[in-house]
Amino acid sequence: MRVLMLGAPGSGKGTQGVRIAERYNVPHISTGELLRAHVKDGTKLGRVAKVHMDRGDLVPDVLIYAIILDQLIEPEPPRGYVLDGFPRTLPQAQIAYEVAKEMDMTFDAVLCLDIPHDELMRRLEERGRGSGRADDQEATIRHRIEVYEEKTLPLLDYYKERGILVRIDAVGGVDEVTQRIFDALDRL
């Protein structure tokens, strides 16, 4: 099972990604989490990435390649995966495809969690109050959604053309959405 998660900040792709990974017994690889680990460890990469993350901007592509490619040089790279947060731009999608092709691990499905703009804002404001994540303040939230719409939404057409895009209605309870995802994946 090789799945890619797409969805706006607050669409629940992290939560759902973990559940998919558990069900199919594959690693959940989240670029957001990998980046936050770098920030926490105070690495050079983390210090540079933090400036962009705190503003709600994307981290420059080259830094993302460094942390993602790092996952593949393990003695035994994962055969399956749930990739969460990468690719997020068209250049990243092209690189992801090149690498996956070389390594014989191209995606089976791209799951896009669909959610209306208003519901998204409501969820994110709620999350910002609870988590204390520095990038969850309200102005940056709005900015992150703009960045998603500008940089990441074009990926939907890219994957639709390749016939691997699966759209999921992500409004509803967490379990309900999980069930929709499992049903869709079982049909593949």
Annotated catalytic residues are 13, 88, 127, 133, 144
Residue 144 engages ligand ADP in binding (rule: CB under 6 A): yes
- C-alpha 67/C-alpha 89 separation (Å) is 16
Choices 31-39, 110-118, 162-170, 178-186; region in contact with ligand ADP by CB under 6 A? 31-39
DSSP-derived secondary structure letter, 151: I
Rounded least distance, CB 187 to ligand ADP, Å: 26
Residue 64 engages ligand ADP in binding (rule: CB under 6 A): yes
Cβ-based nearer residue to ligand ADP, 52 or 142: 52
Pair type for strands 165-169 and 81-84: unpaired
In which residue are the tokens 């939404």 written? 153
DSSP-derived secondary structure letter, 5: E
Rounded least distance, CB 59 to ligand ADP, Å: 4
- C-alpha 171/C-alpha 102 separation (Å) is 37
Residue 181 engages ligand ADP in binding (rule: CB under 6 A): no
Beta bridge partners of 114: 169
Is residue 152 within 8 Å of residue 88, measured between CB atoms?
Answer: yes
Rounded least distance, CB 166 to ligand ADP, Å: 18
Pair type for strands 109-114 and 81-84: unpaired
Beta bridge partners of 5: 84, 111
CB atoms inside a 10 Å sphere around CB 163:
6
Instruction: Choose, by CB under 6 A, the member of 2, 23, 52, 143 that binds ligand ADP.
Output: 52
Instruction: Choose, by CB under 6 A, the member of 6, 35, 83, 185 that binds ligand ADP.
Output: 35
Choices 50-58, 71-79, 159-167, 171-179; region in contact with ligand ADP by CB under 6 A? 50-58
Name residues contacting ligand ADP, limited to 95-124 (CB under 6 A). Answer: none
Name residues contacting ligand ADP, limited to 9-28 (CB under 6 A). Answer: 9
